[in-house]
Structure 1
Amino acid sequence: MQRVTLTIDDDLMARLDRYMEAGGHQNRSEAVRDLVRAGLLERPRSEDADRPCIGALVYLYDHDTRQLSKRLTSDHHSHADLSIAALHVHVDAETCLEVSLLRGRKSEVEHFAQHVIGERGVRYGQLVVAPAEAHAPSRHHVEHGRGHGHG
């Protein structure tokens, strides 16, 4: 195991200590290792770029931003091969929340999500990606005539 020295400002250290306590970590080293692992999992890996995935893109946007709703709708229509479903919620008088479910090659899903999040008027965006095997539906799925076989 390697020993590393870090310089962290007081506010960030206080947040780290709260994280450590809330997570039940025995010491700061465990908490930092946990955060580093999580951060590394979030970074794109080049060998995963072509792997199939499923993603949930969550974003908040100002619906009064000129033509933004139209651009977002157009973006989704032009990427119909990636878009599975969408949920639209009016949060308040100015803000909308959308959750878009996406499926495709990881690099394509991430590129699309970055494009949407980068639109002027999008205030917040986060993409959660999970691996998805690209294979034919199982017999159980086909027999039920639906996309899943739970129950």
Structure 2
Amino acid sequence: MSEKEALVRFGISMPQSLIEQYDRLIALQGYDNRSEAIRDLTRKALLTSSSMQPDETVAGTIVMVYDHHISDLPITLMELQHEYHHAIISTMHIHLNHQQCLEILVVRGKVQKLRELQQRIQVLKGVGYAELSVTHVDEHGHTHEQPHTHA
């Protein structure tokens, strides 16, 4: 939010028990007030891949957890990553325990293609979790989150 942008006040109604839970949560997260916490929730909601235009260029991650003992799953995942090599910038593979692996794909491309990749991963037998998280990118590769300056 720019310094010149006007703040608009509005009211929110919710059950007492819900607001008490919310207040405890935001206090644990270090927020001084509800307004900033709600602004952050709103920003996060606006950055979900489902709220973006399919042809919008974004950068982000696909985080997945899978059982590497499932027959051919590691090979299938590798082949899928090769199929989408143009969208995958980097990968990180972590062994969580004897069975489970955590893999992080750093991605960039059109929302529609990245959603497609995430969904193709999610439906594979043995994949317990696969989530796409993205942020806007302009044609020069800058994100729209924070200004970037060099000293």
- Normalised by the size of structure 1, how large is the TM-score? 0.68
- Normalised by the size of structure 2, how large is the TM-score? 0.68
Instruction: Name the residue aligned to 1:143.
Output: none
- Distance in 2, matches of 1:120 and 1:63, equals 11
Q: How well do the aligned residues superpose, as a CA RMSD in angstroms? A: 2.9
Pick one of 9, 26, 29 that aligns with 2:33: 26
| Structure 2: stretches of 5+ with no match in the other structure | 1-8, 142-149
**Which amino acid in the other structure matches residue 91 of structure 1?**
L
Work out whether 1:98 is the aligned partner of 2:118. Answer: no
SS at match of 2:97: coil
| 8 Å contact kept, 1:16–1:31 | no
SS at match of 1:72: helix
- Within a 5 Å distance, the mapping from 1:1-151 to structure 2 comes to 1-7=9-15, 15-22=21-28, 23-27=30-34, 31-32=37-38, 34-42=40-48, 44-46=50-52, 48-134=53-139
Query: What displacement does 1:62 show?
Result: 0.7
Query: What displacement does 1:64 show?
Result: 1.0
- Distance in 2, matches of 1:67 and 1:77, equals 15
Q: Would the alpha carbon gap of residues 123 and 16 (structure 1) be closer, same or farther in structure 2, given more than 3 Å must change?
A: same
SS at match of 2:23: helix
**Which amino acid in the other structure matches residue 72 of structure 2?**
Q
Number of residue equivalences: 133
| 8 Å contact kept, 1:19–1:31 | no
Query: What displacement does 1:66 show?
Result: 2.2
Instruction: Decide which moves more: 120-129 or 93-102.
Output: 120-129
SS at match of 1:44: helix
